[in-house]
Amino acid sequence: MSENSYRRKVSRIVDGDTFRVHKPVQGSNSIRIAGLDAPEKGTVAGKRASNSLRGKIGGNTVTIKPVGRSYGRVVANVFSNRKKLK
């Protein structure tokens, strides 16, 4: 994967470790946060994880540094306000 970084505005939180951006990164609008394994979407814990991520980056512009791909998504280290999301 490329070592490039991209600044993108978050358009939607999908779940606790995946979000979508308005402008594609390496051909995908779907970004999965590397190293973050959130609870499943349909669970109470999953809803909490989604809400937490929404509070951190929802509607914000983030820096995305791709490290791989998974199920059509770009897997990336993601930074908000210069802090890496974990």
28 contacts: CB under 8 Å, gap ≥ 6: 69, 72, 73, 74
**Predicted confidence pLDDT, tens digits, the chain (86 residues):** 446 999 999 999 999 999 999 999 999 999 999 999 999 889 999 999 999 999 999 999 999 999 999 999 999 999 999 999 98
> By the 8 A CB rule, do 63 and 30 touch?
no
pTM comes to 0.93
> CA 33 to CA 77: how far, in whole Å?
6
The CATH architecture annotation of domain 6-80 reads Beta Barrel (2.40)
- Name the one residue in this structure whose structure tokens are 């802090």: 83
Query: 76 pairs with which residues across the strands?
Result: 33, 66
The domain limits of the chain are 6-80
